[in-house]
Amino acid sequence: MHISVNGEQHEFNEVEVSISRLLEIRQVESPEMVAVQINGEFVEMQNYPNTYLKSGDDIEFLYFMGGGSQ
């Protein structure tokens, strides 16, 4: 399976990769600081375990970034 994560190409041998699994594989330390979209569509956090990726999917991890004033 071939997917793109934040513009980088990934090849997976595993047949079933969920968003939860992908967050592990990518070693995202605080998943609550990331918003996930697949092919431009927002994915609810409670759906991460049962949302499986398809070959050709375009995944974006959007990081929450505060900062600015202080």
Quick one: 36 exposed, middle or buried, by C-beta within 10 A (0-12, 13-18, 19+)?
buried
Give 60's strand partners. 37
Residue 67 found at the interface with another protein (CB under 8 A): yes
Binding flag, residue 69, another protein (CB under 8 A):
yes
- Among 6, 14, 25, 49, the residue binding another protein under the rule CB under 8 A is 6
Q: Give the amino acid at 37.
A: Q
CB-hemisphere CA count at 13 Å for 26?
Answer: 23
The piece of 9-17, 19-27, 46-54, 58-66 that touches another protein (CB under 8 A) is: 58-66
Q: Which residues bind another protein (CB under 8 A)?
A: 6-7, 30, 32-33, 35, 37, 40-42, 44, 60, 62-70
